[in-house]
Amino acid sequence: MGHFEKKSAKSDPTISLTAMPDIIFMLLIFFMVTTVLREVTLQVQVDYTRAENIEKIEQKRLVSYIYVGPEKLQGRKVGNTKIQIDDSIIDDVGAVQQLMYDKLREEPRLIVSLRVHDDTEFGIVTDIQEELRDAGTLRINYSTKQEQ
Amino acid sequence: MFDNKKDRDDPEIGGAGMADIAFLLLIFFLLVTTIDVDTGIGLQLPPAPEENQEPPPIKERNLLNILVNSQGMVLMDEEPTPVNQVKQKVKTFVTNRGEDPELSDSPDKAIVSIKTDRETPYNVYIDMLDEVMGAYAELRNQAAQAQFGRNYGQLEDDSEQQQSIQDMYPKKISIAEPNQ
């Protein structure tokens, strides 16, 4: 018995680290699964206007974007003013209402952020606002950059 | 038989896990960092009008009509105004407190009504809205400084103090029905 005791007293105090990569992989996978990355390819050109009195929207998850601007064509040319929601161009303004209504049902605190090209005519924004009112998504935000 | 303890490794801390820790930290910061924070001017739209509903009666003096026309001109109560004077005019209108019979009764009754044409340039509209927001921000800051010695933005969110300033200067901005 004496032999055994002597041996265990002198054994190495290292903790096995072989499981470490597994733990980290598990965490990585957990974050990958729970994160929603929303990357949108812009099909319209949007240059933001600038303003002084702006606020930040911290809760990014509540925000849904509507892009309005001249459609990007091949080369560097731009076409007519179009509306883009998510990844597709909306040709009919009337479709905005249904799309936003569906989003509102998923997220009742929805904020609609309008990202409008700076020299767009306001008429199309008025149309969108009317649609948003009908859909019940009343919190909006005009995206602008901080004035230098 | 039992003295094979000599074959054991030296009691070092394994360094291989370090890279993994660094990786974990990297991933954590990648996730929590919000690149491209959305900034802008927030606004609450009026609810959709119900059928055959009359608009509530509002005294003409409590209403400040701002029209941005198709040429990008700003008209405040039919008077052409340069964009950089909008803020001052809104402040005078809101803080009138019944003095001038043409302007508002009190700050909480004052309504700023914004009207646009279809051809109004978007950037002029935003510049005008920015001025209106600036006017309210300055008024709220003044009130917060006078009462609590701090700017409005420094008051705690959803606190009683913030609420009291909001009640003093409610931001009543109405978007007029567009012309058909």
Write out pLDDT tens, residues B69-111. Answer: 888 888 888 888 888 888 898 888 888 888 888 888 888 888 8
How far apart CA A53 and CA B137 sit, in angstroms, is 8
Q: Which helix (H) or strand (E) holds A7?
A: helix A2-9
Report DSSP letters for B110-177, one per residue: -EEEEEE-TT-BHHHHHHHHHHHHHHHHHHHHHHHHHHHSS-GGGSPTT-HHHHHHHHHS---EEEPP
Domain that holds residue B150: 61-175
Confidence of residue A102 (pLDDT cuts 50, 70, 90): very high
Q: Which residue has the higher pLDDT, A76 or B79?
A: B79
Confidence of residue A105 (pLDDT cuts 50, 70, 90): very high
Mean of the per-residue pLDDT values for chain B?
Answer: 81
Q: Which of A29, A142, A148 best probes binding to B when mutated, by most B CB atoms within 10 angstroms?
A: A142
Which residue's structure tokens are 């969108």? A128
In chain B, the N- to C-terminal Cα span, in Å, equals: 99
Region of poorest pLDDT, from A25-29, A82-86, B137-141, B146-150: A25-29
Whether residue B178 has pLDDT greater than 70: no
Domains of chain A are 2-34 (no CATH), 49-146 (3.30.420.270)
- The pair of structure tokens assigned to B112 is 């700023």
Residue B136 lies in a domain: yes
Region of poorest pLDDT, from A7-16, A120-129, B125-134: A7-16
Q: Which of B5, B45, B122 sits opposite A120 (nearest CB)?
A: B122
Cα angle for residues B35, B155, A53 (degrees, 5° grid): 55
Number of domains in chain B: 1
Which residue's structure tokens are 């004496």? A2
- The pair of structure tokens assigned to B152 is 């409005």
- pLDDT at residue number B148: 87
Q: Which of B11, B34, B133 sits opposite A13 (nearest CB)?
A: B11
Residue B41 lies in a domain: no
Which H, E and C letters describe A24-77, residue by residue?
HHHHHHHHHHHCCCCCCCCCECCCCEEECCCEECCCHHHEEEEEEEEEECCCCC
Whole-prediction pTM = 0.74
Of A13-22, B10-19, B45-54, B160-169, give the range with the top mean pLDDT.
Answer: B160-169
**Which residues of B are less than 8 Å from A136 in CB distance?**
47-48
